[in-house]
Amino acid sequence: MKPVVTRFPPSPTGFLHIGGARTALFNWLYARKTGGKFILRIEDTDEDRSTKESVDAILESLEWLGIDWDEGPYFQTQRKEIHDRYIEKLVKDGHAYYCACTPEEVNDMREQARTRGLKPMYNGRCRKRGLSNAPGTVVRLKTPGSGATVVQDIVKGDTAFQNAEIDDFIIRRSDGSAMYNLAVVVDDLTMGVNVIIRGDDHLINTPKQILIYQALGADLPVFGHVPMVLGPDKARLSKRHGAMSVSEYRDMGYLPDAVINYLVRLGWSHGDQEFFTRKELIEKFDLNHLGRSAGMFDIGRMTALNAKHIQAKPAAELVSPLLPHLKTLGIEAADDLFTRQVVETLQPRSRTLKDMAAAARFYYVDAPEMDEKAVAKFLTPEVCDMLNQAADAIDAVSEYTQPALEEVFKKIMADFNLGFGKIAQPLRVAVTGTTVSPGIFEMLLVLGKDRTVQRIRRAARLA
């Protein structure tokens, strides 16, 4: 059995969108699962819309997701000689021909067919004229006039297309450039691609591509057309359903492992398991469990899954991706022990890295911004003495540890006849400026004794 070779062929006319990323993932995972090869090919034949900026954005998004490629990136526009060689072979072997019909003449043919109640098609006028290559000519593939072309699909099953409804379609334009269907087949064939997983919006092209494979006498690849990703309202995914580009989710604080976990689960299942590490996805992914139903994108579910990935990661692995989000807030943090400890305190309650950065702000500023409602509710004159005593007691401990802090709290609770919550919440507001924070003891330990005492005394002056 030949090694598996898959590919991802984005068009560089914009960013890498969620649907495209999922297609890349399916192909990449299957190649990695089988020990095969994954090829990246940039289909830049739409030269008016293709840009280097889009190419760079696509590569950056794939790299962020951790989707690496074994070959490429190839660029379709750089493969013209290869496309021409195969086109000339098709003409020489009698499977294609030159056509000199003008666009106006072809439109007339289609209109005449339409008036007779037939499908508007090219009528094959130049098929037997034996024309040679000349300015203005195109090349058309000779298609069967009867029978059916059957797409054997590992996702959708068999789909038959009547050949009588497929006209002799153009495979090379009058300007000498290859048409999409020809270029795709030749590129896949010459690159050894034998498994093609793509969106079902491409299914309409597949019978034409099969006819080209057959005309070239080549084996067909395995085809799998997966349903599109839809929004919660079952409409095609758009901006109103959430961010469209992969890079936007990075900027929103999602982890790449969470994004690929969620995207893969939009069209593939492994029992009821929802949470997968990257390693588990590679081990368990298969083609048999690709779904036939459209995946419904739900930003809430992806966010919940992202929170689980944040919690499952070692804190050290979250520091580097957190730093850009801190920088956005004007915080110049370092990849060091302090930031790792900060992360550890925030992991349990952070849904995104952006959330985590916002929650971490109080650790990095000289004086936290005080929430007016929290101050009014908890930093009252009645707690002033308690805060001052807490500051003095914490300042006096010889070893700044959790057991030492627990003893301080116990004494204050006894001296003021207060429950734990009655002293913890004012202290939380004193050191963070808000009523929401990590656990009081772990937070105070990371903040450090001097800064803790300084903030409590400052808050006592506000009470």
Point out the residues that are catalytic.
239
Q: What's the CA gap between 389 and 407, in Å, rounded? A: 13
Instruction: Name the nearest CA neighbour of 7 among 24, 29, 32, 19.
Output: 24
CA atoms within 13 A on the CB side of 432: 23
Q: DSSP states of 106-174 as a string?
A: HHHHHHHHHHTTS------TTTTS-----TT-EEEE---SSSEEEEEETTTEEEEEEGGGS---EEE-T
- Find out whether 171 and 140 touch, Cβ atoms under 8 Å: yes
Give, for 332, the enclosing helix (H) or strand (E). none
- Find out whether 33 and 197 touch, Cβ atoms under 8 Å: no
Structure tokens that stand for 75 in this block: 């660029």
In single-letter form, the type of residue at position 151 comes to: V
Helix axes 180-190, 206-215, angle to 10 degrees: 60
Beta carbons within 10 angstroms of residue 393's beta carbon: 18
Q: DSSP states of 183-247 as a string?
A: HHHHHHHHTT--EEEEEGGGGGGHHHHHHHHHHTT-PPPEEEEEPPEE-TTSSBP-GGGS--BHH
Buried b / exposed e over 164-197, threshold 16 CB at 10 Å, is eebbbbbbbebeebbbbbbbbbbbbbebebbbbb
